[in-house]
């Protein structure tokens, strides 16, 4: 087998030390960088150097970088999303861009429902209050600072009933919620898990709305002032899909007014989050740092699939090529 020169540009989030890169060594020399500054295009090109395979997570590979790396033949993305790569330019240069299309169905849907559970019970908040001494000094035998919410009998709407959306629907069904779904592509499997409706009907009927759709031009900003106005008063929004699906200022305004009772997001428009993001100061908004995917089991799956992707590509039968 031909030996390749492989460079991993931002390996830390995939493998902070609890996994192994040894699978990649089957294919040749491997150099791993924990981090490569995203804004430093010259450094990115320098680190790729004469490698023919670049493995990335969020490090951008632009047309300018590609031009500086004439030996580059493939970019393997340790994720499903590949918008950080100029895929069209890569194709014009004969460079394959390969992703990991399915690895986190169970953990991402689990996390979405966990965000909802936190809104329903605010477990973390009450744990901190107890440990601060408030319970032991309380005049009553219990206390709560937020409404305790029961989910059974409520209606959840899922925008995007793909693999993750279907798994979320299964969990919600087990919790005795009525489940609605809006998706451009309907299936018998989906119809068994949720009632397909048009977007406006989903917005008007749902007590809780989950975003599980990909980011396309037609879905960017799908949660905006106009669509929020169509929702029930006191609706809950969960987004651990893509940050730009939400107009963040419009959501922050709706949280302040109470139109949206609460929101929980694991993704924002620019990551890492900027200090001026309006959701940081919004009422009843839980924000976590894009970690829905990060269970060790899911990261191991990414590692395994990436090795399989490289093996197939090196063998002349590439799979999961996105360009």
Q: Are strands 53-56 and 4-8 parallel, antiparallel or unpaired?
A: parallel
Our answer to whether residue 242 is catalytic in this structure is yes
Q: Any bridge partners for residue 180, and if so which? A: 157, 195
Residue 319 lies in a domain: no
Containing H/E element for 169? Answer: helix 163-174
**From 29, 150, 271, 297, the catalytic residue:** 271
Q: Do 24 and 148 have their domain in common?
A: no
The answer to whether residues 239 and 119 belong to one domain is yes
Report if pTM > 0.75: yes
What's the pLDDT score for residue 164?
97
Active site residue 4: no
Distance CA 127, CA 108 (A): 24
* pLDDT tens per residue, range 99-139: 999 999 999 999 999 999 999 999 999 999 999 999 999 99
What is the tally of structural domains in the chain? 2
Average pLDDT, the chain: 97
Res. 249 pLDDT band, cuts 50 70 90: very high
Task: Give the active site residue among 4, 47, 212, 290.
Answer: 290
Structural domain span for residue 8: 4-103+296-314
Q: Which of 242, 248, 299, 301 is catalytic?
A: 242
Judge whether 290 counts as a catalytic residue. Answer: yes
157-181 burial, b at 16+ Cβ within 10 Å, e below that, comes to bbbbbbbbbbbbbebbeebebbbbb
241 and 118 co-located in one domain: yes
User: What CATH number corresponds to the domain at position 222?
Assistant: 3.40.50.720
What count of Cα atoms within 13 Å lies in the side-chain half-sphere of residue 288? 21
């Amino acid at each position: 087998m031909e030996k390749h020169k492989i460079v991993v540009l931002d390996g830390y989030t995939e493998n902070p030390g609890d996994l192994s890169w040894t699978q990649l060594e089957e294919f040749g020399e491997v150099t791993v960088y924990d981090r490569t500054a995203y804004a430093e295009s010259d450094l990115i090109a320098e680190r790729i150097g004469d490698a023919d395979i670049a493995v990335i997570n969020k490090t951008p590979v632009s047309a300018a970088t590609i031009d500086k790396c004439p030996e580059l033949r493939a970019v393997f993305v340790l994720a499903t999303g590949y918008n950080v790569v100029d895929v069209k330019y890569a194709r014009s240069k004969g460079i394959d861009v390969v992703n990991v299309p399915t690895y986190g169905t169970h953990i991402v849907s689990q996390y979405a429902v966990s965000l909802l559970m936190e809104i329903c019970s605010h477990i973390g908040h009450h744990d901190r209050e107890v440990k601060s001494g408030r319970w032991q000094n309380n005049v009553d035998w219990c206390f709560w600072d937020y409404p305790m919410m029961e989910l059974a009998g409520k209606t959840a709407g899922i925008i995007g009933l793909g693999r993750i959306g279907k798994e979320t629907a299964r969990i919600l069904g087990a919790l005795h919620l009525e489940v609605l779904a809006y998706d451009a592509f309907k299936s018998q499997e989906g119809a068994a898990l949720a009632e397909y409706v048009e977007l406006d009907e989903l917005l008007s009927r749902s007590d809780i709305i989950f975003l599980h759709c990909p980011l396309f031009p037609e879905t960017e900003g799908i949660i905006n002032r106009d669509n929020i106005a169509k929702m029930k008063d006191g609706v809950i929004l969960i987004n651990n899909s893509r940050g730009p699906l939400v107009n963040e200022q419009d959501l922050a305004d709706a949280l302040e007014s109470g139109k949206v009772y609460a929101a929980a997001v694991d993704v924002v428009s620019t990551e890492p989050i900027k200090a001026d993001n309006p959701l940081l100061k919004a009422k009843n908004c839980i924000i976590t740092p894009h970690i829905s995917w990060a269970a060790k089991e899911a990261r191991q799956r990414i590692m395994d699939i990436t090795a399989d992707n490289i093996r197939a590509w090196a063998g002349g039968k590439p799979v999961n090529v996105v360009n």
